[in-house]
Amino acid sequence: APPPPSTTNSTQSRPSYPFLPFPLNMLGLAKRVGARFLLTSTSEVYGDPLEHPQKESYWGHVNPIGVRSCYDEGKRTAETLTMDYHRGAGVEVRIARIFNTYGPRMCLDDGRVVSNFVAQTLRKQPMTVYGDGKQTRSFQYVSDLVDGLITLMENKYTGPFNLGNPGEFTMLELAQVVKETIDPSARVEFKPNTADDPHMRKPDISKAKSLLNWEPKVSLKQGLPRMVSDFQKRILDE
């Protein structure tokens, strides 16, 4: 799916254009050539969850007509199509539900909370926190995600599997880690929250641990400096 526009500090409002033809076309191609198909779905399928942490068996709590619904329901529909091709056409599929991921080479201004906070602090701007900053997210380093996707594709299980780091942080706690990593004098600026912003997000990865023998290895305090180093070089070149 296309990247989200820059709007909030969690996982943003999503584009208003559809992306479903892409998985549909790729599923058709996988059927024709006998390929194994990977759907990179998202924790957004859980919406604003009433279950915490979120297991793969949880069906979610999504507003189907809200500002985030294009992305949320689009990914849910993509999972439906993927399983329909698996059941009806025998396509070999794998489904990964990816939680917030960060790392080097992300777009400087993609609107995601970690890149927002890092870029703002390096530019000596206040970190923008929406709402009271008490909403939670879980952040996994990109190398852990890549390992998880490869492991999933090389295994026999269809999924879905949560791929994320169960370490849970409020936005204010994340801002504090960014301050400690970059600049202790960095400031926070509060703005009104956006509609349907999930109050909490944390993956239950027991299924991935037991069936795939996978779990993340890189903590936020280990991974963030690697991202900061990359952002610092690119911001200096602006």
Catalytic amino acids?
71
Q: Which residue has the tokens 């069936």?
A: 211
Q: Which residues contact 102 (CB under 8 A, 6 or more apart)?
A: 112, 114, 115, 139, 140, 141, 142, 223, 224, 227
Q: Euclidean distance between the first and final Cα of the chain, in Å?
A: 28
Q: Report d(CA 201, CA 54) in Å as an integer.
A: 7
Q: Measured between alpha carbons, how far is 152 from 159 in angstroms, rounded to an integer? A: 8
- The maximal CA–CA distance of the chain, rounded, in angstroms, is 58
Distance CA 171, CA 128 (A): 10
Could you give the CA distance from residue 94 to residue 38 in angstroms, rounded to a whole number? Answer: 5
- Residue type (1 letter), 33: V
Rounded Cα–Cα distance for residues 170 and 137 (Å): 6
